[in-house]
Amino acid sequence: MPGRDPGEPHRTATSLELLFDLCVVIAVAQASASLNTAVIDGQYVSGLLRFALVFFTIWWAWMNFTWFASAYDPDDIPYRLLVLVQITGSLILAAGVHRAFEGGDLRVITLGYAVLRTALAVLWLRVARSDPGRRRTALRFAAGVTSCQAGWIGTLFLPESAQLAAIIVLIVAEISVPVWAQSAGMTPWHPHHIAERYELFTLIVLGESVAAAAAAVRSAFDRNHHSGALYLLAAGGLLMVFAMWWLYFARPAYTLLTTTHHGHRKRFTWAYGHYLIFASAGAEGAGLAAYAGLVTRRTDVPPVAAGVAVTLPLAVFLMTVWAIHVRPHRRSGTEQLAIPVGAVAVLVAALSPAPALVAGLSAAVLVVVVTVVDRTGPGGRDTGAR
C-alpha cells in the first residue's frame, strides 16, 4: 500500500469516496433535523452543544478518511472492504443521532464512531507494513486513533457529571493526533484531490440544507398555509444558500493548498476550519425549518430566537470562508472588509420581521461586491490575471 504521487495528473474523487460522502451526509441530515427539534422545543444551548459534538464526530471521521484516501488508495479488495466498514459505521452513527439529542444517550453514536475509526486504524497499519519510509507516521496514526477510541468507549462508563470534561479532553486528543503523527513525516496528499473532496462535501451539505428547508416549507403549503411570511422565508432561504455557494467557490481552494503544501500550520488551519463551514451549512437548514415552524404557529419559539437560528449559521459560514478562503489570497482591502461587514449585517437581520429575506439580501449584496472587485480590481478577471 505505497503512497500515491502528490503530483499525479487528473486525480479526482472516486466512486467509493462519493458513496462514502453520501452515506455520511445521512448523519448530517439527522443532526440537522435534531437541531431543528431542539430549537423548536426551546433547548437552544443544549441543542447547540449536542449538535456541535455530534457534528464533530461526523466531520472528523469524514476528514480523516478523506486525507488518508488522498495519500493511500490502492483500490484493492481489502481497501474497499475496510471503506465499506467505515460506511457501515457512518450509518450506525446516523442511527444514534436522535438518541444523543433526546436523552444524551451516546452509546449508539459512539459505537458507529468506533467502527469508523477502528477501520481507519487498520488501514494505517497496512500503510506501516507497506510504506517503510512513513512507517513511523502510520504507526503514530494507528496508535493515536486506537487510543482515542478506547477513550470514547470508556466515557460511556463515567458518571454523567464527568462526561463533558472527558469529551472535551478526547476532542483535543483527536485533533492533536494528525499534528503529532505528521510531525514524523508528511503523507503524500494530493492538493487538487483534497480541494475537490472538500468542495464536493460542501455542495452535499448545502444540498441537505436546501432539502431540509424545502421540506419544512412544503409541509406548510400542504396544510394550506400560504402567508406572505412563508413566501419571504422561502425566497430568503434560496438567496442565502445561493450566496453561500457563490462565496465559497469564488476562490480556488487548490491554489491555497498548493502554496501551503509545506506549511503544516496553514494546512491544518484550512482543513480544521472547514468544521465550521460544514457545521454552519448543516445548521442553516435547521434554522430555516425552525423559522417555518414559527411562521405556521407550530412552535412557541420567540421571533428573535428563531431569527438567530436563521442568521447565526450564515454569519459563521461567511466569517469562516473569509478567514480560510479570502484572507489567504490577500485580495483588496474592500473585499477583505466586505465579508465581515456582511456577516454583521446578517446577524442584525435576526431583529427584522423577515430575517431570512434580509439576511439573504445582505448576502446577495456581498456576492455583488466580491464579484465586482474580483473582475475589476488588481488580479481580477478583467485584467487577465486569472
Residue 4 lies in a domain: no
Q: What secondary structure does DSSP assign to 13-39, as a single string?
A: --HHHHHHHHHHHHHHHHHHHHHHHHH
**pLDDT for 261 beyond 70:** no
**Amino acid identity, residue 207?**
G
Q: Which 3-state string (H, E, C) describes 304-353?
A: HHHHHHHHHHHHHHHHHHHHHHHHHHCCCHHHHHHHHHHHHHHHHHHHCC
* Claim to verify: residue 166 and residue 202 sit in the same structural domain: no
* Claim to verify: residue 137 and residue 213 sit in the same structural domain: no
What is the total residue count of the chain? 386
Residues whose CB is less than 8 angstroms from the CB of residue 168 and which lie 6 or more positions away in sequence, other chains included: none
* Claim to verify: residue 140 and residue 218 sit in the same structural domain: no
**Amino acid identity, residue 345?**
A
Of all residues in the chain, the percent with pLDDT exceeding 70 is: 92
Residue 8 lies in a domain: no
Domain assignment of residue 352, given as a range = 191-383
pLDDT digits (tens, 9 = 90+) for 160-211: 889 889 999 999 999 999 999 998 888 888 889 999 999 999 999 999 888 8
* Claim to verify: residue 214 and residue 292 sit in the same structural domain: yes
Residue 274 lies in a domain: yes
Residues whose CB is less than 8 angstroms from the CB of residue 74 and which lie 6 or more positions away in sequence, other chains included: 1, 2
Query: Domain end: 182, 207, 229, which one?
Result: 182
* Claim to verify: residue 114 and residue 196 sit in the same structural domain: no
The cell for 308 is: 438567530
- Banded pLDDT at 91 (limits 50, 70, 90): very high
Task: Taking residues 308-328, report their average pLDDT.
Answer: 90
* Claim to verify: residue 162 and residue 220 sit in the same structural domain: no
Task: Taking residues 27-37, report their average pLDDT.
Answer: 92
Query: Domain end: 182, 205, 223, which one?
Result: 182
Q: What is the DSSP letter of 55?
A: H
Long-range pairs of 259-263 with CB within 8 A, sequence gap ≥ 24? 260/328, 261/6, 261/191
* Claim to verify: residue 301 and residue 355 sit in the same structural domain: yes
- Asked if 151 and 170 count as a contact pair (C-beta separation under 8 A), the reply is yes
* Claim to verify: residue 177 and residue 203 sit in the same structural domain: no
pLDDT at 226: 62
Residue 237 lies in a domain: yes
Residue 6 lies in a domain: no
**pLDDT for 223 beyond 70:** no
**pLDDT for 60 beyond 50:** yes
Residue 151 lies in a domain: yes
Cα Rg of the chain (Å, integer): 21
pLDDT at 290: 87
What is the number of helices (H) and of strands (E) in the chain? Answer: 13, 0
Residues whose CB is less than 8 angstroms from the CB of residue 318 and which lie 6 or more positions away in sequence, other chains included: 247, 339, 342, 343, 346, 363, 366
Q: How far apart are CA 327 and CA 198, in angstroms?
A: 18
The cell for 37 is: 427539534
- Banded pLDDT at 324 (limits 50, 70, 90): confident
Angle between the N-to-C axes of helices 228-248 and 264-295, in degrees from 0 to 180, rounded to the nearest 10:
170
* Claim to verify: residue 178 and residue 260 sit in the same structural domain: no
pLDDT digits (tens, 9 = 90+) for 229-257: 888 888 999 999 999 999 998 877 777 77
* Claim to verify: residue 177 and residue 303 sit in the same structural domain: no
**pLDDT for 260 beyond 60:** no
Residue 124 lies in a domain: yes
Residues whose CB is less than 8 angstroms from the CB of residue 89 and which lie 6 or more positions away in sequence, other chains included: 61, 112, 113, 114, 115, 116, 117, 119
Q: How far apart are CA 306 and CA 20, in angstroms?
A: 33
* Claim to verify: residue 214 and residue 66 sit in the same structural domain: no
Query: Domain end: 142, 164, 182, which one?
Result: 182
* Claim to verify: residue 112 and residue 201 sit in the same structural domain: no
Instruction: Report the half-sphere exposure of 280 (CA within 13 A, side-chain side).
Output: 23
| Mean pLDDT over each residue of the chain, to the nearest integer | 88
How many domains is the chain partitioned into structurally?
A: 2
Residue 3 lies in a domain: no
